[in-house]
C-alpha cells in the first residue's frame, strides 16, 4: 500500500535531506542531461524574466547553476547574480562551473535566509515548489527585492497534465514499495507539482505581498532521450517515479524499469522520446 505522507515536518528539513542525499547527487552527476531535458522550458522562463544589462538577480533553488550562469551573461559585468540552494552536491557542481566574477553561490534555505534588499529580479527554474510554508518563504524571498523589482519563475502544472511524469509513474506505480511516503498524493505537499493550482499559487504570492501576479500556461515538451533506454533512465532520475523508487531494491527497480520501457515505447520516434510538459510561467512585482 502506498500511503499519503501525513508526517511532513513544518520546516524544510525533509527537502534538505532529499536534495543533499541520493537525489541531489544524481542531479549533480547528471547535470548535462537534465539541462538538455529542460532546455525548451528554460528558454521560456528566461524570456519571461528578460534580465537586462546591469541588473542584480537572485536565482532561487539554482541547483547546479545553469540558469545562474546564463543570467550572468544577460546582466553583463555591471550586473550580478546570486544562486541560492540547500543542496551541497549541486552547489559544488555550480561552483566548479563558475568562471564569472559577478556570480556568487550561497548554500542557504531561501525561506529563511536574511537577504539584502537589493535585487531587481528574483528568478527560478523549478526551484520554488519545495517550501513547507510557501507563503512564509515567499514573504521572506520578497525582502530581497529592491523597489520596483520583479519575480519570474517556471513551475509545473499538475502531474496529470505532464505526460513526461505521469506516463512512467502510472506504468510502474503498482511496484512502488509498501509504506513509501508519497507527498504526490497530496497535490499541495512540497514537491514538483505543489504549485499546480494556478489560483492557489496566485493567492499565495499575493498573501506574501507580491502584486500584479500573472500565471500563464506554457505547453511544451520534455525530451527524455534519444533511445528508449535513455528515456527510462530519465524516469528514474527526475519526477515522481524517481522519488517513489528511491528506496526500492534492485529487483523492484528492474521490474519497474521494464514497465516504464513498455509505457514509453509508443512515444519513440526517429528523434527519440519526447512527451508533453505543462508548466506555469509566473511573474509578479514586489
Q: Applying CB under 6 A, does 111 fall inside the site for ligand SAM?
A: yes
Q: Applying CB under 6 A, does 15 fall inside the site for ligand SAM?
A: yes
Compare residues 115 and 126 and give the one whose CB is closer to ligand SAM: 126
Compare residues 21 and 54 and give the one whose CB is closer to ligand SAM: 21
Q: Applying CB under 6 A, does 115 fall inside the site for ligand SAM?
A: no
Q: Applying CB under 6 A, does 162 fall inside the site for ligand SAM?
A: no
Could you tell me the smallest distance in angstroms from the CB atom of residue 226 to ligand SAM?
A: 21
Contact (CB, 8 A) for 83 and 114: no
Q: Pick the closest to residue 38 from 243, 260, 236, 234 (CA basis).
A: 234
> Residues 18 to 77: which contact ligand SAM by CB under 6 A?
19, 38, 61-64, 66-67
Burial class (CB in 10 A: 0-12, 13-18, 19+), 53: exposed
Q: Pick the closest to residue 122 from 107, 144, 102, 106 (CA basis).
A: 144
DSSP character string of 30-48: THHHHHHHTHHHHHHHHHH
> Residues 261 to 280: which contact ligand SAM by CB under 6 A?
none
CA distance 218 to 153: 12
Computed over its alpha carbons, how large is the radius of gyration of the chain?
18
Compare residues 228 and 279 and give the one whose CB is closer to ligand SAM: 279
Compare residues 37 and 56 and give the one whose CB is closer to ligand SAM: 37
Contact (CB, 8 A) for 63 and 57: no
> Residues 119 to 138: which contact ligand SAM by CB under 6 A?
125-127, 130-131
Contacting positions for ligand SAM (CB under 6 A):
12, 15, 19, 38, 61-64, 66-67, 84-87, 90, 109-111, 125-127, 130-131
Amino acid at each position: 500500500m502506498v500511503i499519503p505522507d501525513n508526517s511532513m515536518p513544518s520546516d524544510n528539513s525533509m527537502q534538505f535531506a532529499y536534495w543533499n542525499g541520493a537525489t541531489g547527487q544524481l542531479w549533480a552527476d547528471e547535470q548535462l542531461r537534465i539541462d538538455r531535458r529542460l532546455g525548451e522550458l528554460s528558454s521560456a522562463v528566461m524570456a519571461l524574466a528578460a534580465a537586462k544589462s546591469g541588473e542584480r538577480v537572485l536565482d532561487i533553488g539554482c541547483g547546479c547553476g545553469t540558469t545562474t550562469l546564463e543570467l550572468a551573461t544577460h546582466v553583463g559585468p555591471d550586473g550580478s547574480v546570486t544562486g541560492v540552494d540547500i543542496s551541497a552536491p549541486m552547489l559544488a557542481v555550480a561552483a566548479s562551473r563558475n568562471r564569472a566574477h559577478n556570480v556568487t553561490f550561497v548554500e542557504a534555505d531561501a525561506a529563511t535566509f536574511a537577504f539584502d534588499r537589493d535585487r531587481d529580479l528574483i528568478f527560478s527554474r523549478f526551484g520554488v515548489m519545495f517550501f513547507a510554508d510557501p507563503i512564509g518563504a515567499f514573504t521572506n524571498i520578497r525582502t530581497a527585492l529592491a523597489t520596483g523589482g520583479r519575480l519570474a519563475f517556471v513551475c509545473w502544472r499538475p502531474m496529470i497534465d505532464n505526460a513526461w511524469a505521469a506516463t512512467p509513474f502510472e506504468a510502474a506505480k503498482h511496484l512502488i514499495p509498501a509504506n513509501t511516503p508519497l507527498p504526490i498524493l497530496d497535490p499541495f505537499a512540497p514537491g514538483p507539482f505543489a504549485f499546480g493550482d494556478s489560483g492557489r499559487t496566485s493567492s499565495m504570492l499575493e498573501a506574501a505581498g507580491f502584486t500584479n501576479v500573472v500565471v500563464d500556461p506554457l505547453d511544451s515538451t520534455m525530451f527524455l532521450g534519444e533511445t528508449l533506454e535513455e528515456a527510462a533512465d530519465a524516469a528514474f532520475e527526475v519526477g515522481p517515479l524517481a522519488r517513489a523508487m528511491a528506496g526500492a531494491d534492485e529487483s523492484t527497480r528492474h521490474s519497474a524499469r521494464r514497465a516504464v520501457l513498455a509505457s514509453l515505447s509508443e512515444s519513440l520516434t526517429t528523434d527519440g522520446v519526447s512527451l508533453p510538459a505543462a508548466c506555469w510561467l509566473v511573474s509578479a512585482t514586489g
